[in-house]
Amino acid sequence: DVKVTQSSRYLVKRTGEKVFLECVQDMDHENMFWYRQDPGLGLRLIYFSYDVKMKEKGDIPEGYSVSREKKERFSLILESASTNQTSMYLCASSAWGETGNTIYFGEGSWLTVV
């Protein structure tokens, strides 16, 4: 089974802190994604990466950056956390192949910025 693991399930951070959300997948997938989920707004794409050291902005990249130094790991960085970044963050991965591009998600990280 595909496993996408997010390092922290629940975090509480202070405004202005630098926050790292880590995600690791064990299936050698080339694509990785970060989404945030908010009530009434659904899931919105922050950043994605289709190869090591490659990144593409999603729909809401402002206030975030990402890092993909190794294929299995995709980090989301909040340079200076703000209260409007309180949300659930979901990491996902996928591979391109005969089975198409099924995207698998981690369990989510609930971030509260106070």
Could you list the residues that contact another protein (CB under 8 A)? 31, 33, 40-43, 45, 48, 50, 58, 88, 90, 92, 94, 96, 99-108, 110
Work out how close the CB of 52 gets to another protein at its nearest, in angstroms, rounded to a whole number.
14
The two beta strands, 109-113 and 10-13, are: parallel
Work out how close the CB of 98 gets to another protein at its nearest, in angstroms, rounded to a whole number.
11
Tell me whether residue 38 or residue 80 sits nearer to another protein (CB atom): 38
Work out how close the CB of 26 gets to another protein at its nearest, in angstroms, rounded to a whole number.
16
